[in-house]
Copies of this chain bind each other. A is one copy, B any other.
Amino acid sequence: MKIETKKAKFRQPLYLESGRLLEPWEIIYETYGELNEKKDNVILITHALSGSHHAAGKYSEADKKAGWWDDLIGDGKGIDTKKFFVISTNVIGSCFGSTSPLHPIQLGSSKRYGLKFPVITIKDMVKAQKILLDSLGITHLRAIIGGSMGGMQALRFAVEYPKFADDIIPMATTYQTRPAVIAVNKIMKDAILADPEFKNGEYDPIEIKRKGLRGLEIARMIGFLGYLSPATFDKKFGRDYLKTDGMFELFGRFQVESYLEYNGANFPKWFDPLSYIYILKAISLFDISRGYANLAEALNQIEDRLHLISFSGDTLFYPEEMRKIKEEMDKLNKFCNYFEIDSNYGHDSFLVEVHKFEDIIRDILKE
């Protein structure tokens, strides 16, 4: 599988939903497979909160980990890179190379945006992707596929750019972020802001990567409460206690605590706290109806085939939320498939249980 990582730079301003703009701006993206002559074999992959453009493959043999959806994307896999040319972008605001709060506040300035970066919405992320595709001469997509915040992008793309894609496959997502999830996002944000080392966004990013940032670690651990279901916590950890720790020591740890600590402590090494705050805001603000009279009017824009995939054990974006989209689409007589994958794993199923829906995606892409 051929992997290419590229950056596209734009001098024209990116007008944002907030009324503010980014100028200049850039977007980093990765491609897998080969674009055919007709340019009609393109699939857009959209990533979740902590995802990146690196969705599949390894850059070198030495890489420990492949891209985040490597189980799904590759030669002969569900998204077959022998047939399709897959594009995966890093969303605006994220910290893997696209324009973000860590970028210069003005061209040539040594000062970063920090907390002066404009609020980014899912609509803005999608707009940037569309401009990128236009610049590449891609006028039509075979499919748009993403989970969680990636599913929000897929849905938003379908609403804003009707007929641009054949198939839209949003997974483990919702039509609007519910207050319980807004609450989680708020607390994660507050945990970061509360850390004096965050310095109101004026921290040294290299230092943070090296020394960690307790507030971001706590935010990451809070996130895990929504990514795994209680049943998965049971199965994965039970009530096992670290053998090195005393049961009646105040700081003695259950296995689950040690797991959270490990994942928390690693997070600042590879993810930026400002980007995290901005992307949380984008997720909290997500409501596919915004800009339309109501949900029905928003969904009525869609002219692509919609295939919804939810997971029974998802306690972040519940299946009932995606069923609601299905119901509305049915009322509108719009093409919509709904698949509910039986899984106790929880929200992260879309990342870790690819074998459960790989064939569904393969079949959709065959049509």
Contact = CB atoms under 8 A, between A and B. Distances in A.
A175 to B, nearest CB: 11
B218 A180 contact: no
Interface in A246-286: 247-250, 253-257, 260, 277-278, 281, 284-285
How many copies of this chain are found per oligomer? 2
B179 A318 contact: no
Contacts of A18: 248
Interface residues of A, number: 59
Interface string A208-223: 0000001101100110
Contact of A179 (B184, B234, B249, B250): B234
Contacts of A187: 218, 221-222, 225, 260
A254 B182 contact: yes
Contacts of A248: 17-20, 118-119, 121, 285
Interface stretch (A79-87, A191-199, A300-308, A359-367): A191-199
A98 B13 CA distance: 63
Given A187-B218, A187-B260, A225-B184, A254 B17 contact: no
Contacts of A215: 194
A39 B257 CA distance: 46
A66 interface: no
Contacts of A228: 180
Given A187-B221, A194-B195, A225-B187, A239 B182 contact: yes
Interface in A218-245: 218, 221-222, 224-225, 228-230, 233-234, 236-239
Contacts of A237: 179
Contacts of A224: 183
A102 to B, nearest CB: 15
Contact of A183 (B20, B256, B315): B256
A250 B18 CA distance: 11
A55 B18 CA distance: 49
A249 B119 contact: yes
A253 B191 CA distance: 16
Given A178-B230, A186-B260, A239 B196 contact: no
A138 interface: no
Given A248-B119, A285-B247, A218 B190 contact: yes
A327 to B, nearest CB: 17
Given A194-B214, A196-B196, A218-B194, A318 B230 contact: yes
21 contacts: A19-B248, A115-B250, A119-B248, A119-B249, A121-B248, A176-B239, A178-B230, A178-B234, A178-B239, A180-B229, A180-B230, A180-B234, A182-B239, A183-B233, A186-B256, A186-B260, A190-B221, A222-B222, A225-B225, A239-B287, A250-B277
